[in-house]
């Protein structure tokens, strides 16, 4: 069998959350290198549909599918489109969906993809590799105030205005094209924090999120999962920063009838709306110390999961 290039984060916890069983159908909606798919296929005689917008991941899936006798198929596309992608192959309902948000290890570790400031490469950051604006396009054309807002909102960077100002001043002399070029400018205006996190970390995160439309993609993916899951089906979502985790938490609280109420005297769910999910764990599951020691990238990971009820989805008016 082909060896996986990395071990996925919280893989045991994700498999336990999805509780795979023989004959069931699962979706690894952010396929990557196929770590969750492998674990699901090993745990039960089930079928897995992988989805990924990265051509490299789809290629890995095509090779890996040969090892599982037709039980694995990887589709090219965004996980926000999973409902349509699965409909095209005749799948209308599934028993479990896994989402591993953010950028994959193989994307970060390849300097040519431009996701990381640790090695110089083209300032790209597109998950699909070819379509849409690059990070270089964004930093070279966006107005200073808009750029500062982007870095603050998606990177939670307090020095966003200082960073945006430095970028705009320097791009007038020489356009940004390389990751090291951008990282050096950020480091010149932001001190390294006491926690030793590189000053470029939050700005690179913000650009990646913006370039790949990650908040919109996550919202679309969660809504699609709500419609696709069969009664008793499970949704498991692993996030890596507070923006993602907050969005997932809010969605699951609302869908389980535990969202905020206008008044403490009002019921959690009105009589016309039934919860579409049941929370199995109210708190996020975090990686243990041994996993973090073996894979430092796991330290910020959070897993939330829930089970689909029989209640119909309430379509927006």
Count of positions (residues) in the chain: 317
Token readout for 148 is 């500062």
Question: Do 225 and 182 reside in the same domain of the chain?
Answer: no
Q: What is the pLDDT of residue 83?
A: 97
Q: What backbone phi and psi angles, to 5 degrees, belong to 157?
A: -100, 115
First vs last C-alpha separation in the chain = 49
Q: What is the pLDDT of residue 264?
A: 53
Question: Do 227 and 300 reside in the same domain of the chain?
Answer: yes
Q: What is the pLDDT of residue 101?
A: 93
Parent domain of 138: 128-211
Question: Do 291 and 225 reside in the same domain of the chain?
Answer: yes
**Is 120 within a domain?**
no
Token readout for 307 is 């089970």
Question: Do 201 and 223 reside in the same domain of the chain?
Answer: no
Helix axes 214-228, 201-211, angle to 10 degrees: 60
Q: What angle do CA 38, 300, 72 make, to 5 degrees?
A: 15
Q: Are 80 and 220 in contact (CB under 8 A)?
A: yes
Q: What is the pLDDT of residue 75?
A: 97
Domain final residue, candidates 150, 185, 211: 211
**Is 71 within a domain?**
yes
Q: Report strand pairing: 94-100 vs 25-28.
A: parallel
Mean pLDDT by 10 residues, the chain (317 residues): 60 97 97 95 97 92 91 96 97 97 77 86 88 94 98 96 97 95 96 82 95 95 98 97 94 88 51 85 93 87 97 79
List C-alpha distances in Å: 24 to 17, 43, 97, 226, 276: 14, 11, 11, 17, 20
**Is 111 within a domain?**
no
**Is 118 within a domain?**
no
**Is 167 within a domain?**
yes
CATH of the domain at 184: 1.10.150.170
Domain final residue, candidates 166, 195, 211: 211
Helix/strand/coil percent split, the chain, to 5: 45, 15, 40
CATH of the domain at 235: 3.40.50.150
Domain final residue, candidates 211, 241, 264: 211
**Is 117 within a domain?**
no
Number of independent structural domains in the chain: 2
């Amino acid at each position: 069998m082909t060896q996986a290039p990395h071990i996925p984060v919280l893989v045991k916890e994700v498999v336990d959350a999805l509780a795979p069983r023989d004959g069931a159908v699962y979706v690894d909606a952010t396929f990557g290198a196929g770590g969750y798919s492998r674990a699901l296929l090993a745990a039960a005689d089930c079928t897995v549909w992988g989805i990924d917008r990265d051509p490299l991941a789809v290629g890995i899936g095509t090779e890996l599918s040969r090892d599982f006798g037709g039980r694995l198929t990887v589709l090219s596309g965004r996980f926000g489109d999973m409902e349509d992608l699965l409909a095209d192959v005749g799948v209308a309902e599934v028993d479990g969906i896994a989402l591993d948000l953010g950028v994959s290890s193989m994307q970060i570790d390849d300097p040519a993809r431009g996701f990381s400031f640790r090695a110089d490469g083209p300032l790209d950051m597109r998950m699909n590799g070819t379509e849409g604006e690059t990070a270089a396009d964004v930093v070279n054309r966006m107005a200073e105030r808009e750029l500062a807002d982007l870095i603050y909102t998606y990177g939670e960077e307090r020095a966003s205005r200082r960073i945006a100002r430095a970028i705009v001043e320097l791009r007038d002399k020489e356009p940004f094209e390389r990751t090291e070029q951008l990282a050096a400018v950020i480091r010149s205006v932001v001190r390294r924090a006491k926690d030793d996190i590189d000053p470029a970390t939050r700005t690179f995160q913000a650009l990646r999120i913006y370039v790949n439309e990650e908040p919109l993609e996550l919202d679309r993916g969660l809504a699609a999962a709500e419609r696709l899951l069969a009664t008793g089906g499970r949704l498991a979502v692993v996030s890596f920063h507070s923006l993602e985790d907050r969005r997932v938490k809010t969605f699951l609280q609302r869908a389980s009838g535990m969202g905020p109420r206008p008044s403490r005297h009002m019921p959690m769910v009105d009589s016309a709306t039934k919860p579409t999910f049941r929370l199995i764990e109210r708190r996020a599951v975090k990686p243990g110390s041994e996993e973090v020691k073996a894979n430092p990238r796991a330290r910020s990971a959070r897993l939330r999961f829930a089970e689909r009820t029989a209640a119909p989805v309430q379509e927006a008016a």
